[in-house]
Amino acid sequence: MRTTIFKICGIFLLTISTLTNVLAQEQSGNFLKAGLDDGNKLVNAYFAPSIKGFGQGINDGWYNTAKPLGILGFDLRFNLGIGIVDKVDQSYNFNNLDLNTDHSKGTYIVLAPGSDPNRQSLYGIKETNPPKAFVRSTINGVDTTIASFTMPNGVGSAYTPSLPMLQLSVGVPKNTEVTLRFFPKTLFPTEYKIRLFGIAVKHDLVQYIRKYKDLLVDSKRPFDLSVYLGYTNYGAEYKKPMLEPDQFAFNPDPSFNYTANQRISFSGHAFTGGFIISKETSPLRNIGFEPFGGINYANSRVNLKFLGDFPITVPSTTTNSKIERVTDPVSIVKYISNVRINAGARIKIYMVTVSAEYSIGTINTVTASLGINIQSFKPYKM
């Protein structure tokens, strides 16, 4: 099973690599040609749906049943999810970002004349001919272009993936279940670093109704109802050249290799807690079908960074423009907080489980999982 899981992870990462390679090498780093202040605003607008999806998706997939495992029972699952980017988040308005577009206020940025100010975010459409942006400044009394770049395209997909993860749950006394989720800190492949660790606790509430105290007497319980809490800490880093020195600007240190350590980093933590309800049925022998639903509060912090050394083009009174070295130029922190409702179903065939859920919140998500489940070892129950 482990080999299969890592093959799936490989496919996932290959897909992200294809998207991010175009983004990192040819697009997002160019925003910094607009300077640190405006560059950060453009990066923030472009990555907004990815940040929301990344932060939201990390809180999903904690459960696929309200019934905690019995003592020493275990559930080992692989989760993979996507966020569905709303139409409103697939683009942003260039004119509404509070960019400096006033030539009387130093260095400023403008789109090519006649361009549509509604620009594509990362998960927007692919345009045939996206417009150019021009960075200008008054130098020796003359309005001068010091840099230009083509506005980044969208990837043509409205789905943003979350980190894949392994998840192990174990039953402990008092009708309680402890869950660990993780993706080993690894280089996979060489340009990626991914880490993820989380812990959650699920506790049965129906047991406090005296006649339903025995968790194993399924036929007597009208439904299963539990409360849960979960915490996750995560990070993903992609190393790839994003911005090279402008060939038309004066470079005071031409031997310096700017692209050697440039990388994009997502990191942060997430917390969620709420209630789960489910009801298991057995339409066929050794086959279980269990719809489930939940309402929960989810909170996450996402930090997007551009790390490494970047050559920022700045105005010069002697050469019109020159290169200035800036380290770690982008750091954007977002907090996503909302109440979420989700619904899904689990199918269990002997020990194998397959489940899927749909969650509604700040960004809607779909999570699927594949696992192996032994309900209890004391007494044994598959």
- pLDDT level of residue 49 (50, 70, 90 thresholds): confident
Domain parsing of the chain, residue ranges: 2-381
Cis omega (within 30 of 0) for bond into 113: no
Report the C-alpha gap between 133 and 53 in whole angstroms: 28
- Please report, as a single letter, which amino acid is at residue 380: Y
User: What pLDDT is recorded for position 164?
Assistant: 82
pLDDT digits (tens, 9 = 90+) for 252-290: 999 999 988 999 898 999 999 999 999 988 878 889 999
Phi, psi of 374 (to 5 degrees): -115, 115
- Please report, as a single letter, which amino acid is at residue 262: Q
Q: Please report, for residues 56, 95, 130, 185, 303, the alpha-carbon distance to residue 233 in angstroms, rounded to integers and kept in the order given.
A: 13, 36, 37, 12, 12
User: What pLDDT is recorded for position 23?
Assistant: 44
Averaged pLDDT, 38-54: 89
Averaged pLDDT, 154-181: 89
pLDDT digits (tens, 9 = 90+) for 227-253: 999 999 988 888 888 899 998 899 999
Q: Which of 114, 109, 89 is nearest to 99 (CA)?
A: 109
What is the DSSP secondary-structure string of 260-316?
GS-EEEEEEEEEEEEEEEE--EEEETTEEEEEEEEEEEEEEEEEEEEESEEEEEEEE
Report the C-alpha gap between 230 and 211 in whole angstroms: 29
pLDDT digits (tens, 9 = 90+) for 74-98: 999 999 888 898 888 899 999 999 9
> Residues 6 or more apart from 105 whose CB is under 8 A from it?
none
Secondary structure (3-state) at 382: coil
Joined tokens for residue 186:
């690894």
- pLDDT level of residue 15 (50, 70, 90 thresholds): very low
Q: Which of 364, 368, 374, 375 is nearest to 344 (CA)?
A: 368
Joined tokens for residue 238:
């992609």
Tell me the Cα Rg of the chain. Answer: 25
- Please report, as a single letter, which amino acid is at residue 54: F
Joined tokens for residue 173:
């006394």
